[in-house]
Amino acid sequence: MTMRRRGFVSALALCASLLAAQSAGADEKQACVAASEKAQQLRNAGKLGEAREQLAICGRSACPRLVQQDCTTWMSEVLAILPSIVPGARDRKGRDIVEVKVFVDGKMVTETLDGKPIAVDPGVHTFRFETRSAPPIEEQVVVRQNEKNRILTVTFATPGDAGGARVTTDATRDPAPPIAAYVVGGVGLVGLGVGAAIGVTASSDASDIRDSGCAPRCDVAEVDAIQSRYTIAGVTAGIGGALLVAGVVMLILHVSGESRSGGLDRPQAYATTPGGIAIRF
């Protein structure tokens, strides 16, 4: 082969390589854009787990810079709102069980329990726990957006346990303190402040009357008004103190987890009474 012919063949090979590279680059760019668009659709549909997979594709360094930056930003937003649960299992004696298969809506997500969180989409899910020598347990749970590391624990009834095949779950306790505790306690704190303020002004006016030397012929209406403010201050402070105590009790019960250990349930209702406040459990 002559030098001219060899040069021609080399030029053809180089052109073919460049065309192949351009074609591959165009396909890669198209794949990045498609993944970006699909990720947005999945996110809007609440399928955050699948959206995260697509964002991982369009966030690669091989993608166009603008697409990569957008996908990286969206990935941070999705991870921030993607909820997760921490599955656990134990026997009737409270001992942890490790060899447990966990299914979410029929799909197995783990074969052993290691205390690590599992990301799930927000919404209603059916969790199924399976282990040897015990009936499986299914629990339907509503998983909320932004809910991180929610504890989901089941108790297996193993052979020989008292109570037969009865199973219990203890997975739906909300880790966040109840808003009602803060509301009731806050109202009580405000009531204490208002009662104290009324009492201070009543004491000041009473002191002014005593200093005026009008006793025992002081204006009856003025004296009655001061006495009424003392009464209002006492009642307001009393109710405020009772509400503050109720809020603290609700918060302590929530944190201590007595409702899970068979003790008191959470307060279901409360009402003020002449002697303070009544809470029904």
CATH number at residue 140: 2.60.40.1120
Residues 195 and 134 grouped into a single domain? no
Q: What percent of the chain has pLDDT over 70?
A: 69
Does the predicted model carry a pTM greater than 0.95?
A: no
At 51, is the pLDDT very low, low, confident or very high (cuts 50, 70, 90)?
very high
- pLDDT greater than 70 at residue 80: yes
Mean pLDDT of 235-243: 84
The answer as to whether 4 is a domain residue is no
Residue 132 within any structural domain of the chain: yes
102-123 burial: b if 16+ Cβ within 10 Å, else e: bbbeeeeeeeebeeeebebbbe
User: Which neighbouring-strand residues pair with 26?
Assistant: none
Same domain, 51 and 40: yes
Same domain, residue pair 140 and 55: no
User: Does residue 152 sit in the same domain as residue 241?
Assistant: no
Q: How many domains does the chain have?
A: 3
- Statement to judge: residues 93 and 74 lie in one domain: no
Last-in-domain residue among 38, 54, 81: 81
pLDDT at 57: 92
pLDDT the model gives residue 22: 54
Q: Do residue 24 and residue 47 come from a single domain? A: yes
* 148/83 Cα distance (integer angstroms): 5
Q: Do residues 183 and 266 share a domain? A: yes
pLDDT at 77 over 50: yes
Q: Is there a single domain that holds both residue 184 and residue 266?
A: yes
Nearest CA-CA partner of 232 in 244, 240, 220, 243: 240
Residue 104 lies in a domain: yes
Asked if residue 239 is part of any domain, the answer here is: yes
Q: Which of 30-39, 148-157, 158-167, 176-185 has the lowest mean pLDDT?
A: 158-167
From 81, 98, 121, the end of a domain falls on: 81
Mark whether 160 and 217 lie in a shared domain: no
Please give the full DSSP string across the chain, using - where no structure is assigned.
--HHHHHHHHHHHHHHHHHHHHHHHHHHHHHHHHHHHHHHHHHHTT-HHHHHHHHHHHTSTTS-HHHHHHHHHHHHHHHHH--EEEEEEE-TTS-B----EEEETTEEEESS--S--EE--SEEEEEEEE-TTS--EEEEEEEPTT--SEEEEEE---TT-TTTT--EE-----SSPPHHHHHHHHHHHHHHHHHHHHHHHHHHHHHHHHHHT-TTS--HHHHHHHHHHHHHHHHHHHHHHHHHHHHHHHHHHHHHTTTTTTSPPPP-EEEEETTEEEEE-
Residue 3 lies in a domain: no
Going by pLDDT thresholds of 50, 70 and 90, the confidence category of residue 244 is: confident
Q: What is the largest CA-CA distance in the chain?
A: 135
Alpha-carbon distance of 31 to 39, in angstroms, equals 12
Planar angle of CA 181, 187, 191, nearest 5 degrees:
140
Q: Which of 169, 197, 228 lies at the terminal end of a domain, its last residue? A: 169
So what's the pLDDT on residue 273? 45
Which of 150, 140, 90 lies closest to 119, judged by CA?
150
Q: Are 76 and 39 in contact (CB under 8 A)?
A: no
Domain that holds residue 55: 20-81
Same domain, 101 and 188: no
Instruction: Provide the residue count of the chain.
Output: 281
32 assigned to some structural domain: yes
94 lies in the same domain as 152: yes
Evaluate if residue 88 carries a pLDDT over 80.
yes
Determine, yes or no, domain membership for 206: yes
